[in-house]
Amino acid sequence: MPCTPADDWMRSPGTVNAGQSWSYNIPARPGDVIKLQARALDKFIKRERLFVVHDNVFFNQHGEVICSGRGWTIRPQ
């Protein structure tokens, strides 16, 4: 499973995890090939901090959703 490259903006140094919600649909098993689809849904300023809303969905080789999550990060401005 290729990892998000270290120079991707999603991995910018100083990013703080503010909270998340993960749902697990079906089990991932040995031998499965996992694909992550991740995107930023929103950026907003709250209490003078830059928040980003993340949407992450993991698929197996059959295109089935294994798990999905919504996350919030606080980022360097």
Partner 1 sequence: MPSRDRNSRSAAKSIRLFCDASLDYNPLHLDDDYMKGNFGKTNFGGVIMHGMNNFGLISRMITDWAYPAGAIHRRLETRWLKPIRPGDTIQPTGIVKSKQATVISRWVLIDVVVRNQNNEKVATGEGHGRVPAEPAVRILNLEPVPGFGPGWAKGPLKGLFRLTFDRRMA
3-state secondary structure 19-52: EEEEEECCCCCCCCCCEEEEEEEEEEEECCEEEE
- Least distance between partner 1 and beta carbon 23 (Å): 5
Measure the CA angle with vertex 4, ends 75 and 59; round to 5°: 110
β-bridge partners, 41: none
Which residue, 13 or 31, is less far from partner 1 as judged by CB? Answer: 13
Which residue, 47 or 62, is less far from partner 1 as judged by CB? Answer: 47
- Least distance between partner 1 and beta carbon 49 (Å): 5
Give contact residues for partner 1 (rule: CB under 8 A).
3, 6, 11, 13-24, 47-49, 74, 76-77
